[in-house]
Amino acid sequence: MSTGEQQVPENRVTSARDRVRASIEHREPDGLAVDLGSNPSSGISAVAHANLVAHLGLADQRTRVYDVVQQLAQPSDELLGRLRIDAVDIGRTFDAEDADWKPVTLPSGVDIEIPAWFEPVEQENGAWEAFTDDGTRIASLPRGAAFFDQTYFPSVDGYPDDLSGLPDVMPKVLWSGLVHSPWDHAGDEGFWETLRERTLALRASTDRALMVVVGCNLFEWGTFLRRIDNFLMDLVVDQANVERLLDALLELHFDTLDHVIEAVGDIVDVLRFGDDLGMDSGPLMSPQTYRTIFKPRHAALNAYVHERSPMKTFLHSCGSLYDLMPDIIETGVDILTPVQITAANMEPERLKAEFGADITFWGGGADTRVVLPRGTTAEVKDHVRRNIEALAPGGGFVFATAHNMLPDVPAANIEARFEAIDEYR
């Protein structure tokens, strides 16, 4: 058996893809569905990945950073096989050749590879900074930090009268200008045809569920363009401009979805949206503001996908979403991630009891803030078991962490996490 194959016990006949789809459809699968790195909020940072592959003694010791903003490593086929992962991002079919990467050394001394197109400029203070072709500074990675910060906000001084220029300014936001695969190739000739060909090949070569990450953020794009302090005030004092911006964004998102659905809508299992709506203590806005401004537009995005494809929809949102959960469910989204279980009212037992029949929780399996980085291996295992016991019964759960694993998570604790997971597979 090759290292990239799914290592399933002989008495299990369900494929990884079926396991994930059963979970999403609230049917208890033959064993726990598990994710690592199928999207940029269930992943592992470069440093933690380098430590993990060394700890496990894998033949492939490379750490390839596919998401340069968050410094996330792309798990190799060998690592996916070793950990028995059930879902993958179709973006991994791009940047697949050695020539697509170049070696660099992080300030911490860890050797990694970054996409060949990425040209960060090291500063005298040790920071890495990223610039557009016209010299605009759009992102900075301070020395010792784990991810890039946004440094340019195109509409910080106010909303333009004409929003037709959004496609021209959005690439100056780091999340668009430093985008991860496959979207770093979206400007290539024949991109959509290539995306379909490679996704078909990936589906034929693995039984894992396939994910396409599309973003289509609304609230977050407001913060990217206006800066979060301004945009939060706008939600209260300038709703007309907020809604004008969101409707312009929706048109761009529908166009993106048209292309995605045509290219891979019949191949991919899950389509991922993103829109951070919460903080530790609660939502970033009142439920009434969400219902008035964002809910109908999120519902439109979900309906657009569901009416045109069999793909399940997946919403990434950090923070405490308890007060918004009934509304989020009513938008038609199938899956919520990363399920930040340390935030207010986001205890696994509470979420499962109140909302577990109506939405799938893809995450919440392990706390990445305290338990994974600071706990003992025994504490990690107990913590993982408790969360699985709370969230898995009856389906509606795919195991992933409560967000990406950062550099301070010891490799031994990651291994302990998977040893506990294996008790449920």
For 355-369, how does the pLDDT look when each residue is reduced to its tens digit (9 = 90+)? Answer: 999 999 999 999 999
Predicted pLDDT at 4 = 44
Segment 305-321 shows an average pLDDT of 98
Predicted pLDDT at 107 = 73
Structure tokens at 378: 């025994």
The pTM of the full predicted model, rounded to 2 decimals, is 0.94
User: Tens of pLDDT along 357-402?
Assistant: 999 999 999 999 999 999 999 999 999 999 999 999 999 999 999 9
In angstroms, the CA 407 to CA 146 distance is: 7
Predicted pLDDT at 3 = 40
Q: Does the pLDDT of residue 11 top 90, yes or no? A: no
Predicted pLDDT at 14 = 74
Laid out side by side, the sheet with 270-274 consists of 87-89, 209-215, 270-274, 312-317, 335-338, 360-362, 397-398
- Cβ atoms within 10 A of the Cβ of 244, count? 14
Q: Does the pLDDT of residue 13 top 50, yes or no? A: no
Distance spanning both ends of the chain, measured CA to CA? 19
User: Tens of pLDDT along 77-92?
Assistant: 999 999 999 999 999 9
- Determine which helix (DSSP H) or strand (DSSP E) holds 138, and give its type and residue range: strand 137-141
User: Tens of pLDDT along 163-215?
Assistant: 999 999 999 999 999 999 999 999 999 999 999 999 999 999 999 999 999 99
Segment 1-13 shows an average pLDDT of 41
Q: Does the pLDDT of residue 69 top 60, yes or no? A: yes
Q: Does the pLDDT of residue 7 top 70, yes or no? A: no
- Report residue 8's pLDDT band, with 50, 70 and 90 as the boundaries: very low
In angstroms, the CA 241 to CA 161 distance is: 9
Predicted pLDDT at 87 = 98
- Report residue 5's pLDDT band, with 50, 70 and 90 as the boundaries: very low
User: Tens of pLDDT along 208-260?
Assistant: 999 999 999 999 999 999 999 999 999 999 999 999 999 999 999 999 999 99
Predicted pLDDT at 144 = 86
Which of 302, 274, 310, 304 has the alpha carbon at shortest distance from 17?
310
Which of 22, 5, 6 has the alpha carbon at shortest distance from 397?
22
- Report residue 106's pLDDT band, with 50, 70 and 90 as the boundaries: confident
